[in-house]
Structure 1
Amino acid sequence: MGQKRGLDDEAILSAAVTLTESQGFEGLSLQSLAAALEVKPPSLYNHINGLEDLRIRLAQFALEFMEKSIRDRVVGRSREQAIREIATAYRDFAKKHPELYKAFSIIPQSENAELKETAHSLQNTLFRILEPYKLKPNDEIHFIRFIRSSLHGFVSLEAMGFFRQGRGVHKEASFNEIVNMFIIMLKNYQKKRVRL
């Protein structure tokens, strides 16, 4: 099996992304990656430090991909409009790239500094969107955890095939209501702060 293409970090990541989306994040192996690149598995170790390193790179790619999608959607928007765009971008990414979305699962346990920094950058985007609501620091964390949990829960259940039956209520309407409820909570919090 001879090397038929230039092997570099970009080619390896590109092939890994393609394999992940077709075979699944958990099913990715160095053997399958080497076969896709038409090289012998030991050749990969000149560029990556094993499967864990490869998964970190995939998670990094997925985070940057999602972050760019969110940034593009929120340009020129603020408050409720920005929140809706972030929620839609999040769901769109999870629907279009379900296996890459699974790569996020390794982030909490990873000690990779670049990966942590990108994850924080994405979270900071949420903090900036919430700034006009003048939340207390602890409440900012609560609201961000609430919306992230709601979005992750919805897209995860949707990916499993739930929400197909709902007494005539379409899942799009339910998703929009989740976002509406979050916005209502923010507005109520803001009104309470003004009265104080």
Structure 2
Amino acid sequence: MSPRPKIGLELTTILEEAGEIADNYGIQGVTLANLAKNLNIRPPSLYNHFNGLPGLKKRLAIYGIELLYNELAQSAIGVAGDEAVIALSKAYIDFARKHPGIYEATLMAPDPEDTDVQQAGKKVVNLTVRILQAFDLKGDRAIHAVRGLRSILHGFSSIEQKHGFNMALDLDESLVIAIRAFLIGITGCSK
């Protein structure tokens, strides 16, 4: 019989701790042994919540996508058009800055075809599509635009995390310039 989890230990607490480990040591630092040690429990107790390390990483990916979605949704309140896309973009980059390990987990779901992971990701895509509706993008064009925006944001955050922007220029200003160029491009594509 499996050992019982520590009294009061909930999945959210476990994922928050796993996220802390990921943010501080990278996704490779997230192991059952490290997590159990930080939670002051025995590693087998974690199996009450998910199926081994792959299950933990899947749950961490979903947790991270949900956190990202919440920050993106919050950023878009009260703004529309260009300003909504810029706000969403800044929120995305800020999320990657604050949670580099959790952000990495969102990209490394064990099985990208997993329906749970897909459901979490669809919320982010649908939010972005709704924001891009101001540019009269529909159907496949809207999805292409979402992919383009995500590529810019992921590329920007990845280069920043690897300290690839070493010039003495404001990174947030560079981001806004890149997003404004993207917006000019999608405005031309919607016609």
TM over 0.5: yes
Which residue in 2 is equivalent to 1:183? 183
Q: Which moved more, 1:53-62 or 1:181-190?
A: 181-190
Residue 70 (structure 1) aligned to one of 69, 72, 77: 72
When the two structures are superposed, what TM-score results if normalisation uses the length of structure 1? Answer: 0.87
1:102: how far off?
Answer: 0.2
| Counterpart code for 1:62 | G
Which residue in 2 is equivalent to 1:153? 155
- Whose radius of gyration is greater, 1 or 2? 1
Q: How does 1:47-86 map to 2 (within 5 A)?
A: 47-86=49-88
RMSD over aligned Cα atoms:
1.9
When the two structures are superposed, what TM-score results if normalisation uses the length of structure 2? Answer: 0.89
| Mapped contact 1:79–1:129 kept (Cα < 8 A) | yes
1:136: how far off?
Answer: 4.6
Higher relative contact order (CA 8 A, sep 6+): 2
Sequence identity, in percent? Answer: 33
Specify every segment of 5 or more residues in structure 2 that has no aligned partner in the other structure, as ranges.
none
Q: Distance in 2 between matches of 1:4 and 1:109?
A: 29
1:141–1:11 distance in 2 versus 1, CA, 3 Å: closer
Look up the SS of the partner of 1:145 in the other structure.
helix
Q: Which moved more, 1:6-15 or 1:76-85?
A: 6-15
Q: Distance in 2 between matches of 1:108 and 1:13?
A: 16
Deviations 1:12-38 (A, max 9, x none): 223212222222212211011111121
Deviations 1:92-147 (A, max 9, x none): 00011111100012248334322210101100111111112222523222211111
1:160: how far off?
Answer: 0.2
Which residue in 2 is equivalent to 1:104? 106
| Mapped contact 1:63–1:104 kept (Cα < 8 A) | yes
Length, aligned pairs only: 187
Look up the SS of the partner of 1:69 in the other structure.
helix
Q: Distance in 2 between matches of 1:134 and 1:45?
A: 48
Q: Distance in 2 between matches of 1:147 and 1:106?
A: 19
1:186: how far off?
Answer: 2.5
